[in-house]
Structure 1
Amino acid sequence: MRYWNDHDMGGWGFGLMAVGILLLLGTLVVVAVALGRYLGQLPPQSPPDGQLVPPPSPEQVLSERYARGEIDADEYRHRLDTLRSGPAGPVSG
């Protein structure tokens, strides 16, 4: 009578090993995706000399939107005139 299966892995052992490997691979994929999302949300690094780059001005942002084709020439001119006219009064609402 053999009780210990002669130190070989039986059917349950193979099944549990397969489930364990799938759980391990799934965990690695989840960690890789989470790390990728985290690194994708980090702010850009400052230049090596330690000087901070100022954010783009509103006129630069507007020019970039016009260059990408997000707004047409009329809307660009209207918004540029609005920006250059100075701060607006309080908004009622």
Structure 2
Amino acid sequence: MTKGIPVMYWNGDMGEWGYALMGMSFLLFWGAVITGIALIWRSIGNAGQRGGQYPSSRTAEDLLADRFARGEIDETEYRSRVAVLKGHA
């Protein structure tokens, strides 16, 4: 080395800010990876289901009872439809 020219050495210490940034970037990276996996898993799990449809375990009487409870049909219509369902069953 020539005399008179300053040479800077890196001693391997990142300092407080270096460690803080490394920790935050570690958390952000793994948070993004886990979030991506969760979103993919969720979209695959819901691929067979369509929004707004009732599960297949619900009967026609259950659907009529829900419509009656929401006020979409009145009592006479509810009773007549239940009678038709029980008459055909």
Give the TM-score normalised by the residue count of structure 1: 0.44
Whichever of the two has the greater Rg, that structure is 2
Report 1 or 2 for greater relative contact order, CA contacts < 8 Å, sequence distance ≥ 6.
2
TM-score with structure 2 length normalisation?
Answer: 0.45
